Amino acid sequence: MKLVFATHNQNKLKEIQKLLPPFINLVSLTDLGCSEPIPETADTLKGNAKLKADYVSKTYQLPCFADDTGLLVNALNGAPGVYSARYAGEKNDANANMDKLLTNLKDKDDRSASFKTVIALNLNDETLFFEGSVKGQITKIKNGEKGFGYDPIFKPEGFDKTFAELPLETKNKIGHRGKAFSKLISYLKTKNVTT
């Protein structure tokens, strides 16, 4: 079965493919020749994930899943949330995003936050959702070279290091994205999915 992962990230694609049952042939947007930007205009992570999955399913008539992730900071009423990737502007600049967040938290005592990932799977004419989240704290300075996005300033609960300092295996095990993908993969393994 051909299943589309609505991403251009080939590394992420290979990681997920290794975890899937052998009957699933996972392909990316790049593999499909899809280069046009897919609109992410919903005001929730769930809505954006569904928009992306729906766009691919309708355009290519293939089963598809898409994910959207946000960082929700309690002292900022859940911001940056659905706007996490472009918090400091349309360029999707991770350093600028982190700098803006650290500035906005400068005078805040509460630095608690959570990461949340929502996956929308379009399969057999229905949409299923899988979620994962992790609680933690926003640090005062950037630490670590691994990961991406806000990883250098997010310290998960129960750890004294940021996501950018932890081994990838640890991050995948305890992290929001890993938890959501584990649920998706478990579903695909236990269901006799055919198209």
Annotated active-site positions, please? 68
Side-chain-side CA neighbours of residue 151 (13 Å): 18
Read off the tokens for 69: 């992730």
Q: At 168, give phi and psi (nearest 5°).
A: -55, -40
Q: Is the Cα torsion angle 92, 98, 101, 103 positive or negative in sign?
A: negative
* DSSP letters spanning 39-84: P---SSHHHHHHHHHHHHHHHH-S-EEEEEEEEEEGGGTT-EETTG
Q: Is the Cα torsion angle 16, 19, 175, 65 positive or negative in sign?
A: positive
